[in-house]
Amino acid sequence: MYCNYCGKVIQDDANLCAYCGKRVGAVVARKRLVRPRVGRKIAGVCLGFSEFFDIDVVLVRVIWLIVAVATGGMGALAYVIAWIVMPEEPRALPAAAPVGERVASS
Ligand SMILES: [Zn+2]
């Protein structure tokens, strides 16, 4: 498959792009609007939107910032609301952890 961000060919089962380091596997699987734990700048709201709509997180942040400035702070309020209502990404998926490691840690 191809990386959504840099366009390079990567492993089909890869979760991270080996070239640009962006998460790719998780993006495809993501169906819910959540705040990812990895890669967030503040609360992960923009990152969550970028993964949900499959667009660049930088673009989301820029758009959000423009809207925030243009609306005189409403964007900032929207961010706080999104922060509150958007669930945090669940910790590591059960399938992602090796069985032996899970036994050892529990
Ligand atoms: Zn990439």
What pLDDT, on a 0 to 100 scale, did the predictor assign at position 94? Answer: 60
73 Cα–ligand 1 center, Å: 34
104 Cα–ligand 1 center, Å: 34
pLDDT at 19 over 80: yes
24 Cα–ligand 1 center, Å: 8
**3-state DSSP call for residue 99?**
helix
Which comes out higher in pLDDT, residue 65 or 95? Answer: 65
What does the angle CA 31 – CA 21 – CA 76 come to, to the nearest 5 degrees?
A: 60
Task: Report residue 5's pLDDT band, with 50, 70 and 90 as the boundaries.
Answer: confident
What pLDDT, on a 0 to 100 scale, did the predictor assign at position 93? Answer: 58
What pLDDT, on a 0 to 100 scale, did the predictor assign at position 70? Answer: 92
What pLDDT, on a 0 to 100 scale, did the predictor assign at position 90? Answer: 81
pLDDT at 34 over 70: yes
Question: Which residues neighbour 88 within 8 Å (Cβ) at sequence distance 6 or greater?
Answer: 34, 35, 37, 44
Q: Could you tell me the end-to-end alpha-carbon distance of the chain, in angstroms, rounded to an integer?
A: 36
Question: Which residues neighbour 12 within 8 Å (Cβ) at sequence distance 6 or greater?
Answer: 1
18 Cα–ligand 1 center, Å: 7
23 Cα–ligand 1 center, Å: 8
Which comes out higher in pLDDT, residue 29 or 4? Answer: 4
90 Cα–ligand 1 center, Å: 24
